[in-house]
Amino acid sequence: MPRFTGTADLILTPATGRSVAATLGPASTLFLVNHGIGPTLRAVTVAAIVLERAACQQWITRGSGTWPTWSDPGESLDTEAVDRVCYLVRRLPGR
- Mutual orientation of helices 41-63 and 79-90 as an angle, nearest 10°? 100
- Domain borders along the chain are 1-36, 37-95
pLDDT for 6: 92
Q: Distance (Å, rounded) from C-alpha 1 to C-alpha 58?
A: 26
pLDDT class of 20 with cuts at 50, 70, 90:
very high
pLDDT tens-place string over residues 64-94:
887 767 767 776 666 666 666 666 666 666 6
Q: Is the pTM of this model over 0.75?
A: no
Give 95's contacts (C-beta < 8 A, 6+ positions apart). Answer: 89
pLDDT (average), residues 48-70: 79
Please tell me which of 20-24, 53-57, 73-77 the model is most confident about, judged by mean pLDDT: 20-24
Task: Identify the bridge partners of residue 31 per DSSP, sorted by sequence position.
Answer: 3
pLDDT (average), residues 44-61: 81
Q: What backbone phi and psi angles, to 5 degrees, belong to 69?
A: -110, 165
